[in-house]
Structure 1
C-alpha cells in the first residue's frame, strides 16, 4: 500500500518497500554505540532517521514537510537478501500519519511489510472514522463511522485506478494500432505503465519493450495519448482514491504478440 494524503495542498507519495540507499545521510547529529540520528532532504519533505540497536538494523523515520510540520512516523527493519538483491528496509512496527495541524490522522502496524493488527483512521476532531483489523495483510474486519459517530458502509480505504470504458473496445483499439507499428512475425512482450492523475488523465506512459528504438517507443505512447474518449464528457479512467480523496495512481497494460501476429492484451 502507498499512502498519499492531501495536507496543505501537498501530495506526498511514500513507497512501501525501500532500498537501504534511501537512508544515506546528509548529516549526522548524534552518535552512540546504540543509536544515531541522520537527516535526509527531498524536494517536498525531509526525514529524520533514528537508528536503534548496536547493529543499527532497526530505524525510525520521522517525515516532515518543508515547514517542519510532522507528516508521518514509520518504523523499519533492515533485511539482508544476499548478493543478488542486496539489503532492503521493510516496514516493521507502528506507523502514524498526521493532519496538517499535528492531530493524528491514521495509525496502523506492520509485520515484515504487511499490515497486521488495528488500522484506525480519525477525523480531525479525534473521532474515529474507520476501524479495521488486519492479520498478515488480510482484512478481517472493517467498521466506518460518519462525523456524528453513526456506523456507515465502508468503501475500501484505497481504490485502484479504474478504466471507465468497455475493455473489449480498448483491446480492439490497441490490437489495431499496435499491429501497424510492429513489423515481422517475431514474438514480443510489450508493457505500458500508465500514470493517471487526480482527474483521470494519462500524464505519463512508462514503456517496457526490450531494445526497441526510441521512435517506436514514442509511437506507442502516442497510441495511448491519442486514445478516443469512450464516453462523452467523461475521462477514460477514474483516478485512484485514498480515503475518499482522488490521488495519482498507476494502470498497467501488457500486450503479448505470438508469431501468428495475434495480440493477447491483458489489463489489471
Structure 2
C-alpha cells in the first residue's frame, strides 16, 4: 500500500501537477503546476474551490505575483494583489473589490521608496500622485 502511494505521488510530480489536502475543516487545498515559462501555486480556502490565492513563480523559484480571488474560476479578483522584483521586494500592490480596483494602488522603486500612488473607486481612477524620488 505504501509503495503505491509513493508511486502515485511521483507520477503527480512527473506530470507537473501535485495536489495536497489539508486536514482542516474548511477544505483548504493546494495545487501546484509546472509550466514551460513559470510555476503556479493555487491555494483554495473552501470546499467549492472558489476563494483562492494564486502565486506565480519564475523558473528560479522567485515569487513574481500573488493574487487573491473571490471566485477563481469566474476570474473575480478580490483583496490584495502584489507584484515583486526578482529579489523579492514589492514592485506594486493593488486592492480589488469584485474584480475592480478599489482603494490605493502603489508602485515602488527597487529601494522601497514609493514611485507612484493612485486611488480607485469602483475601478475608476480618482486621484494620482507621481513621486520623483528614488531611483530606478
Q: Which aligned pairs between 1:60-71 and structure 2 lie closer than 5 A? A: 60-71=53-64
The aligned runs of 1:84-233 (5 Å cut-off) are: 88-148=74-134
Look at both structures and tell me which one has the larger radius of gyration over its CA atoms.
Answer: 1
CA separation in 1, counterparts of 2:51 and 2:105? 22
Unaligned ranges ≥5, structure 2: 1-15
| Equivalent position to 2:17, from 22, 26, 51 | 26
Tell me if the contact between 2:38 and 2:56 (Cα under 8 Å) persists in the aligned partners. yes
CA distance in 2, matches of 1:148, 1:29: 42
After TM superposition, give the deviation of residue 148 of structure 1 in Å.
4.3
- Whole-Å separation in 1 of the counterparts to 2:34 and 2:65: 15
For the residues of structure 2 that align with 1:99 and 1:147, how far apart are their CA atoms? 18
RMSD: 1.9
Hey, what's the Cα distance between the residues in 1 that align with 2:134 and 2:84? Answer: 21
> In the aligned structure 2, how far is the partner of 1:99 from the partner of 1:146?
19
- Equivalent residue number for residue 51 of structure 2: 58
When the two structures are aligned, how many residues end up with a matched partner?
Answer: 118
TM-score with structure 2 setting the length:
0.79
CA deviation after TM superposition for structure 1 residue 77, in Å: 2.1
Aligned-residue offset at 1:112: 1.4
Q: What are the superposed Cα offsets for residues 95-135 of structure 1, whole Å, 9 maximum, x if unpaired?
A: 00000111110000111111111000000001000011000
1:78 corresponds to 2:71: yes
**Deviation per residue, 1:17-75 (Å, 9 max, x gap):** xxxxxxxx921133334211110222211111110034331000011001000101000
With normalisation by structure 1, the TM-score equals 0.42
Q: Which runs of 5 or more structure 1 residues have no equivalent in the other structure? A: 1-24, 80-86, 150-268
**Superposed structure 1 runs of 4+ greater than 2 Å apart:** 29-33, 53-56
